[in-house]
Chains A and B, each alone.
Chain A
Amino acid sequence: MSIKVNSKACYGCRSCELACSFHHQKLFSPELSSIKVLTSMRTGNIKWSIDSTCDSCEGEEQPLCVKYCLYGALKEVA
């Protein structure tokens, strides 16, 4: 299973980073997140990356980034 980003739906709020870091370390920190979102207000660009530390939130009912994506921009795919 992996996480897929729908770029058109994302507003760049970065809630996914927090949900992810909490899954890994029980802390809120974008640096501890497997998913990285770079939201630039200057250019309007939003960039994403998901690194190899993503385990699709093993042990959770659904990946927390998907659960807490406020815009429906993330989904889990096989």
Chain B
Amino acid sequence: MNTNKISGGLAGKILRIDLSKNQISTEDTEKYARRLIGGRAINSLILLNEMNPKAKWSDPENMLIFGVGCLAGTLAPGACRVSIDTKNAFNNGKGSANFGGHFGPELKYAGFDHVVITGKAKTPIYLWIHDGEAEIKDASAIWGKTTSETERLLQEELGDDRIRVASIGPSGENLVRGSAIIGDCGKAAGGSGVGCVMGDKKLKALAVRGHGAIKIAQPEKFFEAVDTALEKVKASPTLKAFRNGLVDSVFGPESTRWDGFAITRNGQDDYWPVEKREKLTGKKIGVAKYRKHLVACFGCPAGCMPFFEIDDGEYKGTKGIGYWVNSAWYAVRMDVDDTAASLKFQLLANELGLDGDMATVALSWAFECYEKGLITKEDTDGLELTWGNADAMIKMAKKLAYREGIGDLLADGVKEASQKLGKGSEAFAIHMKGQDSVDAYRVFKGWGFGLSTSPVAGRHLRGSVSSPSGMGPKKGLEWSTYEYENIPDVVFWQARTKEIEDMTGICNYVGTWAGTRALEVSDYAALISSAMGIEITEEELMLLARQSINLEKAFNTIHTDFERKDDYPPRRYMEEPVKSGPCAGAKCDKDKWDEMLDRYYELQGWDKETGWQTGKCLTELGMDDVADRLQKVGKLK
């Protein structure tokens, strides 16, 4: 690997803003990129090097870092994504979330690859970042506004409708842990409470506009790599389905994916009847009937983002982008088969800045408490939290975002809420490492194992795989959707390729994970090498990916007490099998999980007993500096 001189791909600068001191400075990206290329990996390095382990997520020292992929803003297919990293608002470990859209490339055209925010403002502010400069500006006029109103008002105030905005809604302002940062009014960076951290800093939004350019080091080779990559996208058998609308094409009512992904009634079962599914994802009566057209993220050939408008009934006039597979999960989890309400819930979450995943876990826990008589109408301001009650689901989302009534209890996540309520409610508080977890663990073994080993606490974009037909390596490993065999090896492979994608900013829907499953690691090597003017091979990229994983692992080990014990699924999924449907009886088997963890730690080079990193592994990866940090806190094997 030769990264000595980077001559393309990057915007070139890192913007640093201290909100407590009102200070703005910049530094060159190159010294970080020489080691870790770009995107999340660089964010993780900055966090590990600079964050005080004793500081909590809500302390001014907490850092909120936006990092754009090193290929974003170029013609590399689907390169647009931004990684947002911080101290996790649920557990003080590594926090990380990610969005696509058009914000990231605009930030690079404004001259910045990363924005590192520390401190806290005394009063609400927003950042106006444009053409190599940044200003801290008064946000009193937009504080309290929804995310789409925020974008509209900022574009008006600053006089440019090409300004891109990433903002929080009322949810983040009210420090609801499960808050997202919303880019482009509907691209949610969810997980880790990144929107809550932003709200805690009284930072309402980042508005960006750039007139600059991205240089390519070796244009001829780069265009060859782009052409090769695009040919793979065009040849993808699933491309058409994506462009026709993700939910109804890929997650249609008859799909067996439902049996592995659809958790209902807060995880009481993993089966939902086909006639109910039809109402969510059926082509004629599902949410697709409200879809007006599809929109693409910057430079993306998949084009999967639907723009909706509800043109009848109670929610008439509601519109916006965003209804993905997760959005269907939300309604299923609440046993709601009301088409319009399901769509309304998702679009409302985007407007309020609620993280739909986290909000639904909190709400479904409350509904189960109600079902079991642990809370009553007196606790809910008269709302009947019965399964399938769409009106209550939507009203509760608002209560959560504004911390009204019982919303205040739910706003700190189900782990803390269940500890406060007690009465046995901890048993069905579904969290991973303290963070609410919306995903299914019991049926698709690779999905569950990826969730349980994710460094960001039960999130599926770090190695989870569902079936060999759509995820994992295309050759070299035999594995099955419903069996445990070889799962650690597949997850280890997918976790690394996801790291590379998040260094480049290339969306996983054109990459190695799901979607069109078109680009391969060889494409990333060719695109990165030619864009940046460096020499990097496929094998070297896979090693860099391990470095990135180990940075997050070290952050968790140093900043929390996470060990092997924290890499098991939520209690309910270990103890209660699926009750009905074709996968009845499935659960997460403890002995099998032990075997998988042993194998996974072996692949990673980590200690099997504790799950900690080893000096041998880190030395092999050239990470002695990280080993030293772990040694100092007595957590290196």
Q: Which residues in chain A, 17-74, are within 8 Å of chain B measured between CB atoms?
A: 18-19, 21-22, 25-32, 38-42, 44, 46, 68, 70-71
Contact check, A13 vs B297: say whether CB atoms are below 8 A apart: yes
- Which residues of the partner chain B approach A26 to less than 8 Å between Cβ atoms? 216, 219
Q: Which residues in chain B, 144-164, are within 8 Å of chain A measured between CB atoms?
A: 148, 151-152, 161-162
Query: How many interface contacts (CB-CB < 8 Å) are there between A and B?
Result: 95
- Interface bin, chain A: 20 to 34
> In whole angstroms, what is the CA distance A14 to B75 when docked?
10
With A25-B213, A30-B109, A31-B211 as known contacts, state yes or no: A40 contacts B73, CB within 8 Å: no
B399 interfacial by beta-carbon distance below 8 Å: no
Q: Chain B: how many interface residues by the 8 Å CB criterion?
A: 43
B294 interfacial by beta-carbon distance below 8 Å: yes
- Which residues of the partner chain A approach B216 to less than 8 Å between Cβ atoms? 22, 26-28
B101 interfacial by beta-carbon distance below 8 Å: yes
B319 to chain A: closest CB distance in Å?
7
Contact check, A42 vs B297: say whether CB atoms are below 8 A apart: no
B104 interfacial by beta-carbon distance below 8 Å: no
B474 interfacial by beta-carbon distance below 8 Å: no
With A11-B295, A11-B296, A13-B299 as known contacts, state yes or no: A32 contacts B162, CB within 8 Å: no
> Nearest CB to that of A36 among chain B residues?
B162
B369 interfacial by beta-carbon distance below 8 Å: no
Contact check, A32 vs B213: say whether CB atoms are below 8 A apart: yes
Contact check, A41 vs B295: say whether CB atoms are below 8 A apart: yes
Most chain B CB neighbours (cut-off 10 Å) among A19, A21, A28, A29 = A28
Most chain B CB neighbours (cut-off 10 Å) among A14, A27, A29, A41 = A41
With A27-B213, A27-B215, A31-B211 as known contacts, state yes or no: A42 contacts B184, CB within 8 Å: yes
Contact check, A15 vs B295: say whether CB atoms are below 8 A apart: no
Among candidates A31, A46, A68, residue contacting B295 with C-beta atoms closer than 8 Å: A46
Among candidates A12, A15, A40, A42, residue contacting B75 with C-beta atoms closer than 8 Å: A15
With A39-B102, A42-B185, A44-B292 as known contacts, state yes or no: A31 contacts B299, CB within 8 Å: no
- Which residues of the partner chain A approach B230 to less than 8 Å between Cβ atoms? 68, 70
> In whole angstroms, what is the CA distance A9 to B292 when docked?
13
Contact check, B184 vs A28: say whether CB atoms are below 8 A apart: no
Contact check, B298 vs A41: say whether CB atoms are below 8 A apart: no
> In whole angstroms, what is the CA distance A32 to B213 when docked?
8
Contact check, A41 vs B184: say whether CB atoms are below 8 A apart: yes
> In whole angstroms, what is the CA distance A36 to B315 when docked?
35
> In whole angstroms, what is the CA distance A32 to B101 when docked?
21
> Nearest CB to that of A67 among chain B residues?
B227
> In whole angstroms, what is the CA distance A46 to B294 when docked?
11
- Which residues of the partner chain A approach B297 to less than 8 Å between Cβ atoms? 13
B293 interfacial by beta-carbon distance below 8 Å: yes
Interface hit among B300-308, B331-339, B404-412 = B300-308
B444 to chain A: closest CB distance in Å?
30
B125 interfacial by beta-carbon distance below 8 Å: no
> In whole angstroms, what is the CA distance A22 to B74 when docked?
10
B321 interfacial by beta-carbon distance below 8 Å: yes
Contact check, B303 vs A39: say whether CB atoms are below 8 A apart: no
With A12-B295, A22-B75, A68-B75 as known contacts, state yes or no: A41 contacts B321, CB within 8 Å: yes
- Which residues of the partner chain A approach B148 to less than 8 Å between Cβ atoms? 42
- Which residues of the partner chain B approach A41 to less than 8 Å between Cβ atoms? 101-102, 184-187, 295, 305, 307, 321
> Nearest CB to that of A40 among chain B residues?
B161
Contact check, A44 vs B319: say whether CB atoms are below 8 A apart: yes
With A32-B213, A39-B102 as known contacts, state yes or no: A44 contacts B307, CB within 8 Å: yes
> In whole angstroms, what is the CA distance A27 to B294 when docked?
28
With A12-B296, A18-B75, A44-B295 as known contacts, state yes or no: A31 contacts B213, CB within 8 Å: yes
B448 interfacial by beta-carbon distance below 8 Å: no
> In whole angstroms, what is the CA distance A55 to B443 when docked?
57
> Nearest CB to that of B321 among chain A residues?
A41
B315 to chain A: closest CB distance in Å?
17
Contact check, B109 vs A70: say whether CB atoms are below 8 A apart: no
- Which residues of the partner chain B approach A70 to less than 8 Å between Cβ atoms? 77, 230, 233, 296, 300-301, 303
Most chain B CB neighbours (cut-off 10 Å) among A13, A30, A71 = A13
With A13-B296, A28-B214 as known contacts, state yes or no: A38 contacts B307, CB within 8 Å: no
> In whole angstroms, what is the CA distance A19 to B296 when docked?
17
Contact check, A29 vs B214: say whether CB atoms are below 8 A apart: yes
B320 interfacial by beta-carbon distance below 8 Å: yes
B249 to chain A: closest CB distance in Å?
15
> In whole angstroms, what is the CA distance A70 to B162 when docked?
22
B605 interfacial by beta-carbon distance below 8 Å: no
Contact check, A19 vs B292: say whether CB atoms are below 8 A apart: no
Q: Which chain A residues have a beta carbon within 8 Å of chain B's beta carbons?
A: 11-15, 18-19, 21-22, 25-32, 38-42, 44, 46, 68, 70-71
20 A–B contacts from the bound complex (CB under 8 Å):
A12-B295, A14-B299, A15-B299, A15-B301, A18-B74, A28-B214, A29-B109, A29-B211, A30-B109, A31-B212, A38-B161, A38-B162, A39-B296, A41-B184, A41-B187, A42-B148, A42-B152, A42-B185, A44-B292, A44-B309
The 8 closest A-B pairs by CB, nearest first: A29-B213, A44-B307, A13-B296, A41-B184, A27-B213, A11-B296, A70-B301, A11-B303
Q: Which chain B residues have a beta carbon within 8 Å of chain A's beta carbons?
A: 73-75, 77, 101-102, 109, 148, 151-152, 161-162, 184-187, 211-216, 219, 230, 233, 243, 292-301, 303, 305, 307, 309, 319-321
